[in-house]
Amino acid sequence: MFNLIRNEQMKLFLQKSTWIMLIALVLLAFFGVFLTRPDGDEAKYTDANWRATLEKENKKIQKEIKDIDSKANDQYIQYMMQNYEVNDYYLKNDIKPLNYGAWQYVLDGKDFLSFLSLLTIIVAAGIVANEYRWGSIKLLLIRPITRTKILLSKYISVLLFALIGLVLFMIVAWIAGAIFAGVDGLNPKVAVYSNGKVVYDSIIATVFEDYGFKLVNLVMMATFAFAISTLFRNSALAIGISIFLMMAGSTIIAFLMDKSWAKYILFANTDLTQYTTGVPIFKGTTLGFSVTVLLVYYVIFTVVSWISFTKRDVAGS
């Protein structure tokens, strides 16, 4: 098994396209947060002025919320409200907030992780279909190794690629943060909004929690692309469908909102942060419900790819 995974990694990393994807990821990790961060928006908190700065920020937030009437901006209002409460927490507990630094940079970088999902989808969609396209499937499947093992080694390789991308992304983002914003201690604590209240926690724990939630979506979409690619033996089709669904997922949910079965749609359940920091998309769903739905989808995807890979003839060219 180890040798099979080594083979898959060798094939993956000897293709130019893999390196182009990783370079794009590194560039995004380096400049992404820097370019999208509102310029000079976050104040420098000094010992002398941090209370005044926080109060000023909160006044601004209150004014902004008052100006927005539209209900369509629910999400934004909620985001602002959370910021308000976090600021309030610092004031009430008399804690000087952390200045923007390398770890916050990494934390904000989580919004760019959907790009890593996209890359993982591309890899997952190609890893089986390409063997058919190259014709090498005929040399791969005549070895004294069961097809199940070959498929499993490919799936593990996809997850390994995502893991490598993730580690690379975090390291580069941290370095970029250190360069652009400076280092604020090795494991600083911050106040964050979690499970309906503000908690004061280590920022590294927060980073891993937030990234972990993002990975749920990544793994589900990669597994979906992998299944489509083994079923149709066509990587373009698998990439197309998966990326379309990933992009359109929330739109589809909004569209089918009033249907009773809509809560069983995959995309209604991939964002588990709806149960920690946000509001559940559907009333009455719980974390347990979403995890169960995700597991069912996961089993369907893996069984589909396993059956189509192990039971079907390799015919034609």
Partner 1 sequence: MTENAMELVDVRKSIGSKQIIKGLTFSIKKGEVFGFIGPNGAGKTTTIRMMVGLMKLTGGEIRIGGKSIVSEYKEAAREIGAIVENPELYPFMTGWQNLVHFARMNKDVTKARIKEVVELVGLEKAVNEKVGKYSLGMRQRIGIAQALLHKPSVLILDEPTNGLDPTGIREMRQHIRKLAEEDNVAVIISSHLLSEIELMCDRVGMIQNGKMIALQSVRETEKPDKPALQDVILEAQPIDKARSLLYAHSKVEARVDGDLLRFQCEKEKIPELIAHLVGEDIAIYQVGAGKATLEEKFFDLIGENTIV
Q: Tell me whether residue 150 or residue 294 sits nearer to partner 1 (CB atom).
A: 150
Give the separation between CA 75 and CA 1, rounded to whole angstroms.
46
Site string for partner 1, 90-129 (x = CB under 8 A): ----------------------------------------
In what helix (H) or strand (E) does residue 200 lie, and over which residues does it extend? Answer: strand 197-202
What is the closest distance, in whole angstroms, from the C-beta atom of residue 13 to partner 1 in the complex?
A: 11
How big is the CA angle at 125 (ends 119 and 126), to the nearest 5 degrees?
A: 95
Longest dimension (CA), the chain: 76
Contacts of 17 (CB under 8 A, 6+ apart): none
Q: Tell me whether residue 72 or residue 142 sits nearer to partner 1 (CB atom).
A: 142
Q: Tell me whether residue 98 or residue 314 sits nearer to partner 1 (CB atom).
A: 314
Residue 39 touching partner 1 (CB under 8 A): no
**CB atoms closer than 10 angstroms to residue 38:** 6
Q: Tell me whether residue 288 or residue 316 sits nearer to partner 1 (CB atom).
A: 316
- Lookup: tokens for 195: 């499970």
What is the closest distance, in whole angstroms, from the C-beta atom of residue 317 to partner 1 in the complex?
A: 6
Residue 156 touching partner 1 (CB under 8 A): no
Residue 22 touching partner 1 (CB under 8 A): no
How big is the CA angle at 67 (ends 249 and 87), to the nearest 5 degrees?
A: 80
List beta partners, residue 194. 197
The distance from CA 116 to its chain's CA centroid, rounded to whole angstroms, is 7
Give how many residues touch partner 1 by CB under 8 A. 25
Residue 71 touching partner 1 (CB under 8 A): no
238, 232 Cβ separation under 8 angstroms: yes
Q: Tell me whether residue 53 or residue 310 sits nearer to partner 1 (CB atom).
A: 310
Residue 148 touching partner 1 (CB under 8 A): no
Residue 136 touching partner 1 (CB under 8 A): yes
Residue with tokens 């039971």: 311
What is the closest distance, in whole angstroms, from the C-beta atom of residue 117 to partner 1 in the complex?
A: 25
Residue with tokens 């189509």: 308
Residue 141 touching partner 1 (CB under 8 A): yes
Q: Which stretch binds partner 1 (CB under 8 A): 94-102, 135-143, 156-164, 280-288?
A: 135-143
Give the separation between CA 280 and CA 150, rounded to whole angstroms.
39
Contacts of 265 (CB under 8 A, 6+ apart): 252, 253, 256
Q: Tell me whether residue 18 or residue 290 sits nearer to partner 1 (CB atom).
A: 18
Question: Exactly one of 35, 48, 72, 142 binds partner 1 (CB under 8 A); which one?
Answer: 142
What is the closest distance, in whole angstroms, from the C-beta atom of residue 314 to partner 1 in the complex?
A: 4
Footprint on this chain of partner 1 (rule: CB under 8 A): 3-4, 6-7, 10-11, 14-16, 134-136, 138-146, 313-315, 317
